[in-house]
A and B are shown apart, each in its own frame.
Chain A
Amino acid sequence: MKTMFQKIWEEHLVSEENGTCILYIDRHLVHEVTSPQAFEGLSLAGRPVRRPEATFATMDHNVSTRTKDLSQVDSISLVQMNTLSDNCKKNGIRLFDFNHPDNGIVHVIAPELGLTHPGMTIVCGDSHTSTHGAFGALAFGIGTSEVEHVLATQTLVQTKPKTMEIRVEGSLSPLVSAKDIILAIIGKIGTDGATGYVVEYTGEAIRSLSMEGRMTICNMSIEAGARAGLVAPDETTIQYLTGKEFSPSKNHWEAAQKQWLSYVSDLGATYDKTIVLQAKDIQPMVTWGTSPGQVLPVTENIPDPLNIEDPMIRKSAEMALSYMDLKPGQKISEIAVNKVFIGSCTNSRIEDLRIVASTVKGRKVHPSVEAIVVPGSGRVKRQAEKEGLNTIFTEAGFQWRNPGCSMCLAMNDDVLSPGDRCASTSNRNFEGRQGKGGRTHLVGPAMAAATAILGHFVDIREWNP
């Protein structure tokens, strides 16, 4: 009796000595910010890229979302972009560059191109690589030295993590989303609650999610400290992968499907730890602090640090409230924002944009709010435009941008100013993450959309436009 993690792990073991494992990597994703030093290291050591055909690259972290005109891009970012182009050309790696029609956020484009398959091992120099676990792939973020290691050897040196099951039983209330599930989980177990574990998400509420929803959940596994997140592959997974550009060819499609569906945990397999949540208890969530674990249902009030017993947690809460300029007892639903960001590898897929469009259709963004929608990829952008979502956004007063990581980490010019308060569909509310002095509240796409209209948070279940 094995868990799906054990099956994937054991299949990919190249060697194991005294607990140190060499794990084969099926897919390596590369972007412009964490790869230049890795390619430089290879070149200095005179080592080739072992399997360029298993490696795919994109430009996403520092790219402009305002223009595709390279002459308008700032010169420092351009050096990184050109360096990636040169490295890919020199090493025969397929690159979806800035002006490629399918360019976009690495964790959005790989699944939509069919590069992510169940049972794979996938790595990328980016912590949100955990996203791909939604397909039942063991996927995790690595540092630049490890990027170099994978380029040179197609393997990684690893110690075996423990396994955790997070089971979400029952069904979600209407308008409560995958984002609310994962925020509720992080709120419950903390930002280091899953450190050292690979998490498998199970239960009816997970099973009934679309691939987009599963990706949102697995994406933020890292925010609970997990090495990776997993959802067992099923018909929903197969449906999603059908006909994708890089899905297995006709000759192999039947065999591939059969193998994919074997990467599920056996009945009676045991985990090192199990946590259970009831879906009906999960409400629309809003972070109030500077760590994703500082999160509450929108119906609650800002907590009073004086009521927190643990001195370290109390101190963190005090510092967070001071940075966020919030007072204990304040109603979360009354907090006003002046920025709304809809995007990032957590919530920039077509399903997310459809939810936003249906929430804002025929309404206007609040006059004191600046709101942007940044699609996750060129494909998402084209699909949204085909469905007319862009017209709904722009008529409501949202800016409709080009794909990129954008204000999730604010490496480009989509940056909060000091004192700005932002409702963001991204994944991190750290101090200064979206811009020095900027204040981030993490929310799901429907909540972000409604907040843009009202100018403050709202219980989306009671807001009936």
Chain B
Amino acid sequence: MKAFQILEGKVALLDRANIDTDAIIPKQFLRKIERSGFGKHLFHDWRFLDNEGTKLNPEFVLNLPRYSEATILLTRDNFGCGSSREHAPWALEDYGFRSIIAPSFADIFYNNCFKNGMLPIVLKNSEVDELFLMVTRNDGAKVKINLDKQIVEAFGKTYSFEVDGFRKHCLWNGLDDIGLTLQKEAKIKQYEDKFKQIKPWLYEGAL
């Protein structure tokens, strides 16, 4: 997994609440068996005027030239709700976003981001409002995210955010958490040995 430490980048605005993972990556693009190549289908039904994805919708914000190099997405409440599809963060990451800032995220999407070297940041509603305003006024300005200090530095102000310690550790070091869990293999084995006695029906035969 890619490490995430400090990110300085341009911000794209998506001023809409409850953006679901069906909108982020529509189902017709889930029929692949690879992890890569989803970026070109990101927000497909909003970004394109045709089903084939050849005609850009000039009115959709991500198609505006000023957002073409954005690596941070600023959006509204409950981003990533709905389906658990990890194709949503895969598509956002492949398109170029490494961090998403919103007042709240859906649970599974929030989890999935950390597995893909992306940092979802929760800020207060008033802070998100302020950032929307400032980004609109300062075309192309960059903001800086520092994971270690858990701050966003933007337009002369500092916004701090919370992040779970273990997730931060994995993200900062680009660690695969399967490897970390397997270091506790003895404990897992111990658990299983105990429950073979307590719930033997879960361990019998082919079951």
Question: Which residue numbers of A lie inside 8 Å of B, CB to CB?
Answer: 14-15, 17-20, 22, 24, 26, 33-34, 36-37, 40, 45, 47, 50, 53-54, 61-62, 76-77, 79-80, 83, 94, 125-127, 140-146, 148-149, 152-155, 157, 159, 191-192, 195-196, 222, 225, 227, 246, 248-249, 252, 255-256, 259, 291, 312-313, 315-316, 319, 409-411, 428, 430-433, 436
Contact = CB atoms under 8 A, between A and B. Distances in A.
A98 B17 CA distance: 38
A191 B34 CA distance: 31
Interface of B: 16-18, 20, 22-23, 26-28, 30-31, 33-35, 45, 51, 76-78, 81-86, 89, 104, 106-108, 111-112, 115-116, 164-166, 177-178, 181-182, 184-185, 187-188, 191-192, 195, 198-207
Contact of B200 (A14, A36, A252): A252
Given A37-B35, A143-B86, A159-B164, A195 B78 contact: yes
The interface centre, meaning the residue of B106, B112, B116, B191 with most chain A CB atoms within 10 A of its CB, is B191
Given A15-B184, A192-B77, A145 B23 contact: no
27 contacts: A22-B181, A22-B187, A24-B195, A37-B33, A47-B178, A77-B31, A141-B108, A142-B84, A143-B89, A144-B35, A145-B86, A145-B112, A146-B111, A149-B178, A152-B181, A153-B188, A192-B18, A192-B104, A195-B107, A222-B82, A225-B106, A225-B107, A249-B204, A252-B200, A259-B199, A312-B77, A315-B17
A316 B165 contact: no
B180 to A, nearest CB: 8
The interface centre, meaning the residue of A144, A152, A409 with most chain B CB atoms within 10 A of its CB, is A144
A228 to B, nearest CB: 10
A141 B84 contact: yes
Nearest to B81: A191
List 9 tightest A-B contacts by C-beta distance, closest first.
Answer: A145-B115, A248-B201, A143-B86, A36-B33, A143-B112, A20-B166, A141-B84, A252-B201, A192-B78
Contact of B45 (A143, A255, A431): A431
B22 A14 contact: no
Nearest to B20: A430
A191 B18 contact: yes
Nearest to A313: B17
A191 B77 CA distance: 10
Q: Secondary structure at chain A's binding surface: helix, strand, loop or mixed?
A: mixed
B202 A54 contact: yes
A419 to B, nearest CB: 14
Given A154-B192, A191-B78, A436-B51, 19 more contacts: A18-B166, A19-B165, A34-B84, A47-B178, A79-B33, A127-B108, A144-B35, A145-B86, A145-B115, A152-B182, A154-B188, A225-B106, A248-B201, A315-B17, A409-B27, A409-B83, A410-B27, A432-B45, A433-B27
Contacts of A77: 31
A146 B114 CA distance: 11
B76 A76 contact: no
Nearest to A61: B30
A157 B185 CA distance: 14
A430 B82 contact: yes
Contacts of A256: 199, 201
A436 B178 contact: no
Nearest to B165: A18
Contact of A157 (B177, B187, B203, B206): B177
Given A37-B33, A79-B33, A430-B22, A144 B86 contact: yes
Contacts of B16: 315-316, 319
